[in-house]
Structure 1
Amino acid sequence: MNFGQAIERIKAGKLVARKGWNGKGIYIGLIKPKDGDAMTHDFIYIDTTGLQTDNPDAPLDRVPWLASQTDMLAEDWQVVGD
């Protein structure tokens, strides 16, 4: 699927990833803050906590994410975790 379709999926509560991403176990999703949270607006995050890698220095985090032009133009988006 394309990036627009991937965005629609995350708005519907799904998690998505690019098939072409180098690391396996990485995905993006949407967080909708609740009253009292530090963040006050919905935001897209990337989760690398499940990254499968031999690199002991690879970050295993969940942080806000910003799409690259390559990501926005890609046609290899897929829903994960269904």
Structure 2
Amino acid sequence: MDFSEALRHCKAGKKISRTGWNGQGMFVVLQQGYPDGIPINSNTALATGIAEGTVRRFRPYLMLHAADGSFVPWLASMSDLLEDDWTVS
């Protein structure tokens, strides 16, 4: 399937991935964010200069489960957007 169809599935709560990715176990999910806000933790305070414990809203974003098991915010590359090898799990 193409990316626009995969994105619809992702927005519906499904994991999406590409068969063209060479890492085992990689997938993308929609992180719903925190529309009501959560307290800033020490890592975010250090990075932003905002006092730890200050409540801030976090908007939704796409998050990649990388091959090493870690998570990272994700942006699609040009090839990701144009390929038709997207799958849903």
Amino acid corresponding to residue 24 of structure 1 in structure 2? Q
Q: Percent of counterpart pairs with the same letter?
A: 38
TM-score, structure 1 normalization: 0.78
Which one has the bigger strand percentage?
Answer: 2
TM-score normalized with structure 2 length:
0.72
Matches for 1:24-35 after TM superposition, within 5 Å:
24-34=24-34, 35=36
Runs (4 or more) in structure 1 with deviation over 6 Å come to none
Matched residue count: 71
Q: Give the match for residue 73 of structure 1.
A: 82
* One-letter amino acid matched to 1:75: D
Aligned to 2:61: 43
How far apart in 1 are the matches of 2:24 and 2:14?
17
Indicate the structure with greater helix content: 2
Q: What is the CA-CA distance between 1:39 and the residue it aligns to? A: 5.3
- Residue deviations 1:7-47 (CA, integer Å, cap 9, x gap): 10000000000011011200000011232335521100101
